[in-house]
Structures are given as structure tokens and as C-alpha cells.
Structure 1
Amino acid sequence: MSAIDGLPPLRAVIAEHGLSAKKALGQNFLLDLNLTAKIARQAGDLSGLDVLEIGPGPGGLTRGLLAEGARKVLAVEKDARCLPALAQIAEAYPGRLEVVEGDALEINPLERLTPPIAICANLPYNVGTELLVRWLTPETWPPVWSSLTLMFQREVAERICAAPGSKAYGRLAILAQWRSEARIVMSLPPEAFTPPPKISSAVVHLTALPEPRFPAPAKRLERVVAAAFNQRRKMLRAALKGLHPQIEEKLEAAGIAPTERAEQVPLERFCALARVLEEG
């Protein structure tokens, strides 16, 4: 795989630059360039796209994205130790890789990207969920991105794709499935990483829908779902009592039994409840 760009294997890159993974940064490096190329391919045809990558580390996935034909990759990296390794990749792909040093939670990358945009990343574990929620909840829809191809801990990936009635079903499933098509496309064992994490990982591919599956005011839906699953063991009439003084009536108007629990309620009913509450 390294022969495609003339760059050294990732183990050699890590050794050259002293890139031991830092737990504080949520780092677990994928060193198999065949695997990183496979992840890049899960994002689909990249030839006409700008790609945002968060936490590239030594650049394994970055190289895969570029080799798969991404028009441009914007890589946001917090760890300054990784910058020299990424600079070598930029030299091998002139004009196609831009590296920004900084915290992905504090940087607005849109000014550096031209639509259509895909996001593809082996997300640092400590910021992955927050970034996903941000990407799923912009004020306007469709979003600036056409697809998300993201690696998470396996249990987080299962929560994104979970069906009603399952233990994994919750806020992430609602937010992801309301506005996108989400599916798990790859699974990776701990030993694929250096250092090996204690859990398995999975890649989720989310494709933005042209419009949400069901109409609902976004901010209201977010509040309803957060309150419902924050106390998921309670009946909804108790979990949501802070949202409206006549919450039982509102639940019934939305077609939800007040004695149901959040994990029993499908997406369509949550959207209906958000609409009812928005009416006052």
C-alpha cells in the first residue's frame, strides 16, 4: 500500500516522529494501510469532493482518502507531533492536503472547504459523539456534508443504528435516523489498533437525506429526546413533566401512551410530540 504514494509504512512514520499514542487525546492509531484504504472506500466516490478529516494522527486514513481520489482533504489535528508526518503527505499530494492544527470542537472548517463535502474520520474517542451531534443538528437542512463515514467504539456505532425497543436505542439513533440513512459498514477488532483499545470499533456510514423523514422543529425535538432518554427507565409522563404542564394530554395527542418509556417510542411519534409541543 505504501508504494502507491512512495511514502514509508506507518510504523516507520511513527518511529521516525516519535508518535506514541496519547490516551489524553483519545488516540488509537490504525497502522494497516490496507484497512485505512478500505475505510476510505466506504465513503464512496471521492473524486469530486472535498473531505474533512478529524484527528488524522500519522496520516493512514489521510493517505487512503487521497489515494482514493479526494479532490481535497482538510485534516484537523490537535497533536502538533503529527504535523511533520502530515507535511510529508502534503508534499506527496501537491495542492490536495491542507492541515490545520487545532481543536476540532473550536474550528469552523467550512471556510476552507468547497461543496460537495464528505466527512471521513477515525474520530478520537473523547470527542466523537459531540462532533456527530453537531453534524446532525445544523440549523438548516440539507447540511453542508453529503455523507459521514466515521469510526466509533462499537457500542456507539450500534446506538446510532439502533431500532426502537432495543437497549441501544436512544438520542443518537433518533438524531441520526431522523435526517440520514445510517448503517454499520465495517467492524474492527482491538488488535487492529496501536495501542489496542479495550473494545471493538466499527465504521458507520451516514448519508444525508434531502429532508427529514418526518416534519419536526429541530430544537424542540432535541429537547424532547434528551429529556426522554435522560430518564429512560421512567414512564414518559414522568420523564417529560418538565416540558409542559399538561404533558399527558400532549403525549396522547401525539399518539403516545403516557405510560410508555422512551425506548418504546419510534422516531415518527417523537417527531409528532415535538410538533404538538411546539404548538403550545
Structure 2
Amino acid sequence: MYVVGLSCKGGHDTCWWPHNSSPALAHQMLSEAAPGKVCIVHGDVLTYRMNRAFPEHLRKMWQDDPPNIHIIGNLPFSVSTPLIIKWLENVSNRDGPFIYGRTQMTLTFQKEVGERLIASTGSKQRSRLSIMSQHLCTVQNCFVIPGHAFIPKPKVDVAVVRFTPLVEPKILQPFKLVEKVVRSVFHFRRKFCWRGVGILFPEADRLKKTEQMMQTADVDPTLRPTQLTMLHFKGLCDAYRKMCDEDSSLFAYNYRDELKEKMRSKRDRHLKQLEEEDEL
């Protein structure tokens, strides 16, 4: 995959050239489109360090208008979700391409993913991506490109989505903490929200801790995840942060690890029982 920096009218756009195209062909085509203003960098977009990709004079303060830099990507569907999560974490930390300020992004996604990114409270498409993107950025669905416009033709239509980082996030907590809470809540997206909140805690204290967190956050436990507003998620994240501050081991807890250990113990007991029956 090729990372292409395109300078235009004093600013910089960044986009991606198909991995099966030759650098020479890419350079020739872009050089003709913008004579003398093209710089092609061969690299992997998932690992390429963009904190030094643009001139220092383009840097702006975070509270200022977005810098004259724009990230544009026609993303392969296989990398679009991990890449936007990576860049959202960069937005939260104000590093990577956002070291230059509130760098805007215009990216392509599978239409269904695009609908999740912009989904509002109550929408069936409301998801983890909705919260993680909207608490950090203004997210706009620019337009939809029909699948037949591409060669080879994908099986789905493509959404073009624009992200503009907010001056202040709607949830003032570390990215990893917000992601953990939001992921847990949407783990049981068809159930009441307290079910997802519960898996943030070890089984022994689960009911007690879940009730405590819901009360602290002032969230109705019978709401579905898709019905929760951004203020609800802010309350949940703030409440969870307070509980983590009181118990330093809590954030490291992973319910999947406890579940695996429980299943392993059950299997071991069953094997031991079979061995004892054989001895009889």
C-alpha cells in the first residue's frame, strides 16, 4: 500500500494508492495532476508514522481551526475499522497525524460501517463505532458511491465519511478506558445495558459492582445499549474510572480470561471424575 502526500495550495492531502499499482505509474499520474507537488512514500498505512509526514509550518494549536492538512483514503474494507480506531486513539492522544492539530479525515467505508459511524441514539445501527467516533469527532456522511463505480466491483455500496476532531472530547477519559466500557456495553446489544456493564467486573462481585456503577452514572439499567445517549456513556465511563481508582486491579480484569479459567476448571473436574470412575 502506498502513502501519497499531495501538496495543494500550501496544504497537504494524504491518500492511499492501490497496493497492486507500481510506484512509477502512481508518480507519473499524480505528477501530471499536480506538477512538482507530489511526494510518494512507500509504506504500510497501519504502521506508517505520520507525525513527521508534513511540514512544521502547517502545525496549529488544538483549539484553532483545523490545519491545512487533510487525510483522504479509499480504504480496503479489511483495514478500515482497525485503522479508524487507531486514528481515533491518535485523536484522543493528539499524536500521529493530529500532532499538527485537528487534522480532518475523509475516508471510505462499507456502507453499513458508514451508517454505524454516524448512527444517532435509538438507531438500530448504533454501535461501539458510533460512540468511539462521535465522542471525539464531528462525523458526517458525505455521500454514497454505488458499488458499480469501482473496478473490480464490490458486493456493497461505499460510504464516504468525514471526521473533524472536536476541540474537547465529549467523554474526558483515556481512550482505552472509554473503549473498554463501550465495548462491554455493546457486547449484549439486544439485552438491557446492565448486562454489558456487568462483564466489567469479576463474577464474585458482579451484581453489587454493576448496581453501584449504574447508580453512580445515573443510568436506567433497563435501557438497551442503542438507547444510551452520549451523556449516559460519559456517566458510565466516569463512574468506571472512579471505581478503577479505588481498585487498581479492576481495569486489568478481563471477563473472557475468567470464563476460560472457569471452563478449564470444569473440564478438569470432569476428567478427574472419569478417572475415579475407571478406578472403581
TM-score normalised according to structure 1 size: 0.70
Question: Counterpart in 2 of 1:83?
Answer: 23
Written as runs of structure 1 = structure 2, the 5 A alignment for 1:164-175 is 164-175=121-132
Distance 1:267 1:214, change over 3 A: same
Equivalent position to 1:148, from 99, 102, 105: 105
1:251 to 214, 238, 241: 214
SS of the residue aligned with 1:136?
helix
Give unmatched runs, 5+ long, in structure 1. Answer: 1-24, 26-39, 58-77
**Structure 2 unpaired stretches of 5+:** 60-66, 244-280
Say if 1:153 and 1:202, in contact at 8 Å, map to a contact too.
yes
1:158 maps to which residue? 115
Q: Give the structure with the larger helix fraction.
A: 2
Shift in Å, 1:240: 2.0
2:13 corresponds to? 51
Residue of structure 1 equivalent to 2:270: none
1:226 aligns with 2:183: yes
Between the two structures, name the one with larger relative contact order (CA 8 Å, sep ≥ 6): 1
Q: 1:102 Cα deviation (Å)?
A: 2.6
Secondary structure in structure 1 of the residue aligned to 2:93? coil
Contact 1:187 1:201 in 2 (8 A): yes
Could you say which residue in structure 1 is the equivalent of 2:237? 274
RMSD (Å), alpha carbons:
2.3
Q: Could you tell me how far 1:90 is from its partner in structure 2?
A: 4.9
Distance 1:202 1:254, change over 3 A: same
Compute the displacement of 1:48 (Å). 3.7
Is 2:150 aligned against 1:197?
A: no
SS at match of 1:111: coil
How many residue pairs match? The answer is: 216
Pair 1:113 & 2:113 matched = no
Inter-partner Cα distance in structure 1 for 2:129 and 2:10: 29
Partner of 1:128: 80
> So what's the TM-score if we normalise by structure 2?
0.70
Equivalent residues of 1:251, 1:258 under 8 A apart: yes
* Structure number, greater radius of gyration: 2
Displacement over 4 Å in runs of 4+? none
Q: Secondary structure of the equivalent of 2:103?
A: strand
